[in-house]
Chain A
């Protein structure tokens, strides 16, 4: 299970699509970093302390993925780009089968 590979896509604010592969258990933020995806700043390094790794999931994935914790929901209140119903902090989304084929949209700005 640990080595299971999950394939999903980052959609940048400028329309660029990049398909990436990560291992189950890794976070979306970590995969973005590993693949040089721009626009996910994650200034605190994934500690849910800065609100700069904000992304939008597609509706299906949002519904399938594990629900955000109460702390994450609180942090989503303070993100800089518009908060939408499928907003998440990418440092809190762990790759699982639910993320397979997901479309992760990166907001225009994290500041």
Chain B
């Protein structure tokens, strides 16, 4: 047991080898079914396509997420396909100075930065946006009325979380689709499998997105408001020891992605699962008090964040194998949240599940998602307003939904529904 495993030495025919050969890290169709198999017999296996070891059991995933001393977050947003040197040079030459500030940082840097961020991104402050978010949701739902069929992604889940992010940032009069397009590009460059051409052509947009974040901070310096960048500026108090201006700009750049990308996917995933089960939808229509738990069950059953990454700082043992320092781990949150050791019949979607909330959709440990309260709020409100406005809403059955994604995220590209309103 103490001998360290070399991926090349895992014999063909061994379940661990077979799992690594079969696992398609960028293919979301059938992923849950495969992971359910692996959870039983292959708690950890090597995926050669990405040079990561995939961890499928809840206990192992949690043990790594909580052990930030031995497992570094530095690879969390690392490009799966390294960026070409020419792109890096172009970005450097043009003042793209984005740096890791949160998800890809370890203590003490992570703790220092987080202490500033949590003054704004905390449950109480986020709750104070409740009325404004409600208004936003209602306006999107209102705009759908009178239509026979709509694509819910296009009409609601794609834009709404970006508009909520704008509330936090104090941004007005910006087309949310501009931010969404920039975000998709960044996600693909970090967690996707882009071609070299796609990487090279991304430079200008990446730069525009960065400059947009920097401009926002510059504006708040002149005219502070009750928003995230203004809060960070005040919290920094001009002291680089506390938080540098570049870190602050990087935080705003980070929020412009993190505050909406996952919520867009999560809300569409959850609505889709509910509509696939008309009885569940009807239950929420009849009793909206079931909605908060249904939201949690959605996060558990079909999290938009399917996996997250860590790298070992020292030799370690996990899932019965010993591996060396430097080993990269792909922690399957999707699998962990369905682990039967905690969630009985984990592959069953049950809106009344008692412990639905014990999922790992928002991570665990010191990097626990700071936006969780507002993500939950938005999905809940979308369900509340949709069930109220369109109680008979159903999927357009002859229009199949495609789940798309990258290494870490997944969600439907379209969600056509009939409103029957």
Question: Chain A: residues with CB nearer than 8 A to chain B?
Answer: 41, 43-51, 71, 74-75, 77-80, 111
Contact = CB atoms under 8 A, between A and B. Distances in A.
Contacts of B118: 74-75, 78
Given A78-B122, A78-B124, A80-B123, A44 B115 contact: no
A75 B363 CA distance: 18
Interface stretch (B81-89, B204-212, B366-374): B366-374
B91 interface: no
Interface secondary structure of B, over-half rule: helix
A44 B368 contact: yes
A47 B366 contact: yes
A43 B362 contact: yes
Interface secondary structure of A, over-half rule: loop
Contacts of B62: 45
Nearest to B115: A74
Given A71-B115, A74-B118, A111-B373, A44 B123 contact: no
Nearest to B362: A43
Contacts of B114: 49
Nearest to A52: B123
Interface string B72-111: 0000000000000000000000000000000000000001
Interface string B361-401: 01111111000110000000000000000000000000000
Nearest to A78: B122
B66 interface: yes
Interface range on chain B (Cβ under 8 Å from partner): 20 to 34
B357 interface: yes
A71 B115 CA distance: 8
B362 to A, nearest CB: 7
Nearest to A83: B124
A43 to B, nearest CB: 6
A45 B66 contact: yes
B115 A111 contact: no
- Max chain B C-beta neighbours (<10 A), residue from A74, A75, A78, A79: A78
Nearest to A49: B368
A78 B123 contact: yes
Contacts of A77: 119, 122
A50 B368 contact: yes
A49 B373 CA distance: 13
Contacts of A41: 357
B125 to A, nearest CB: 8
A30 B34 CA distance: 33
Contacts of A74: 115, 118
Contacts of B368: 43-45, 47, 49-50
A101 B111 CA distance: 34
A45 B67 CA distance: 11
9 contacts: A44-B364, A45-B66, A47-B368, A49-B367, A50-B372, A74-B118, A77-B122, A79-B124, A111-B123
A63 to B, nearest CB: 27
A58 to B, nearest CB: 25
The 8 A-B residue pairs with the shortest CB-CB distance in the complex, in nearest-first order: A78-B122, A44-B368, A47-B366, A49-B368, A45-B364, A47-B365, A50-B368, A49-B366
Nearest to B357: A41
A82 to B, nearest CB: 11
Given A43-B362, A49-B114, 13 more contacts: A43-B368, A45-B365, A47-B365, A47-B366, A49-B365, A49-B366, A51-B123, A71-B115, A74-B115, A75-B118, A77-B122, A79-B124, A80-B124
Contacts of B362: 43
A82 B119 CA distance: 17
A75 B115 CA distance: 9
Contacts of B367: 49
Contacts of A75: 118
A46 B364 CA distance: 9
